[in-house]
Chains A and B, each alone.
Chain A
């Protein structure tokens, strides 16, 4: 069965901290995605990656960066966390035009 895991379910950080969110998939899928989801704003794409060491900006990349050193792992980095980055962060993986499989999500609170 398909599995996408995220490093934390809940995370509390302070303003200005550097935050790492990790995502691992066990499906050998090429594509990986990071979204944030906020009430009333839907799913918004932050970054995505089609292959190792490749990344492309999504709709809201400001304040974020990503790293994909291995095919199965896609990391989201908040360089200097701010309160407006408090959100639910969802990682997903897919093959070509196929279904996206989502991880359980990380609920991040920035104080």
Chain B
């Protein structure tokens, strides 16, 4: 079992819809959770981070964390074609502070 697993995708949604990206992790001691966006040929860039259970909103993006279920998700509201990218979930465990374990990513396509 991988330490961080994401929906394999690809995920395709129409413009204006909600895109839902999911991630599960195996280390119960994980402390920090991140979503990165990676456009084709570019390096990953941070979208959101979340540390506490519940929801965290930033513009059209909402991160949701449920530590009991070891689950973190990213919702993108009013999806735009510019949101088309690969989204990487990353988790920082307790054992190695600062070292992130990345999921393989979910590729999202938003169709006009």
Contacts and interface: CB of A to CB of B under 8 A. Distances in A.
Interface of A: 30-31, 33, 40-43, 45, 48, 50, 90, 94-105
Contact of A95 (B31, B98, B99, B102): B98
B31 A97 contact: yes
B57 interface: no
Interface in B87-111: 88, 90, 92, 97-100, 102-105
B25 interface: no
B45 interface: yes
B97 A100 contact: no
Contacts of A42: 88, 102-105
Interface residues of B, number: 20
Contacts, number: 50
A102 B88 CA distance: 13
Given A99-B49, A102-B44, A104-B43, A94 B88 contact: no
Contacts of B99: 31, 33, 45, 48
Contacts of B102: 42-43
Contacts of B98: 30-31, 48, 50, 94-98
B46 interface: yes
